[in-house]
Copies of this chain bind each other. A is one copy, B any other.
Amino acid sequence: MGKPRPSAPTISEVAAAAGVGRATAARTLGGYGYVSAEMRDRVLAAADALGYRTNQLARSVSTGVSHTIGVVVADISNPFFGGVALGISEVASARGFDALVLSTAEHLEEEINAVNVLVDKRVDGIILSSAACAADSTAHLQLPNEQGIPLVLLDRLIPGLDLDAVVIDNRAAARHATTELIAAGHSRIGFIWGPPVPERIEYRRELVEAAGRNLWSDGERLTGYLDALDDAAIPLDLDHIMLGEKTEMRAYEAVTRMLALDAAPTAFFCTETDALTGTLHALRDAGLAIPSQVSIVGFDDSSWAAVMNPPLTMVRQPMLELGRQAAELLLSRIDSGAGDAEPPMQRELETEFIERESVAPAPTHS
């Protein structure tokens, strides 16, 4: 029997100290049922004399509601997920819920484990940004619903599954960004980064397929890029798509390699922060000026993008809003209980294209 700690006073102790029955104490302390003003005062007095605090754990096993939601993301230190987490806890805490947040480092095993942990701790709902992509390897996403725990997907859809989700319109965002680059006169646009396949890709179809096998949002961004190229009838150059492991270092190398091409890109679209910093490094080392020699557009607007030299043109994602809406959707599901109500819904938030000074007309080669 574990209570190695300075015993926290229980409701019974308070009742005893107040000279009333346990139930009466429970009613006043729990704020339900009827209790006379006089009794209430006695109980309340005894309660804070003893420093009584409700044991929410015990309450939860009794009521079946923990007032806790689970949040599982790839990496809480990533400002994107940090913003999302803040949005979530804003609306959650306003409604009396707290968040148990777990990071998975994009590992499916850890994600599975995270879901199990959350289910076992009886959270009232889960918000999850899954690393899963194929409709296989998603058994763990069934579990919560089997246990009656609402689940909403965040930032990343899973193609085969019809689940609640709140995401960004990545495809439209990428299409917009690429189109702007094209409008500025660019036709050779580096895409940093594409699917993390190691092998060289020969055909467009392979590329699209590879993207589909990996992270959904990345695939969407690539598709948007392709859309824009198609719109302008610009042929796809597979050498302009970064493949392989997605790290800043790899981005650096990919850009450096592209720059050495005969048909080197005159612009780069960087779909993530690390992709952007890697690209920036490469451009600096290549001695290329932005935007006179090469243009650039980034994803994930951060405070520093505006303060760069030159200020960077970016597509901004509404991180807080993403979190807020996911939390709202989840809470509404929690409210309606197992009343197997509405069908799953996917909400898609718009991004904003922030025009600054890193895009200029393509240099006219002599």
Contact = CB atoms under 8 A, between A and B. Distances in A.
A90 B110 CA distance: 12
Nearest to A88: B76
Contact of A86 (B77, B99, B120): B77
A364 interface: no
B75 A86 contact: yes
- What 4 pairs across the A-B complex have the smallest Cβ distances? A5-B148, A309-B309, A2-B64, A77-B86
Candidate in A4, A83, A304 with the most chain B CB atoms within 10 angstroms? A304
Given A5-B148, A60-B57, A284-B307, A103 B76 contact: no
Interface stretch (A37-45, A48-56, A152-160, A224-232): A48-56
Contacts of A338: 4-6
A65 interface: yes
A85 B89 contact: no
Contact of A100 (B98, B119, B274, B309): B98
A78 interface: yes
B303 A277 contact: yes
Given A6-B146, A338-B5, A102 B89 contact: yes
B66 A57 contact: yes
Contacts of A161: none
Contacts of A256: none
B56 A121 contact: yes
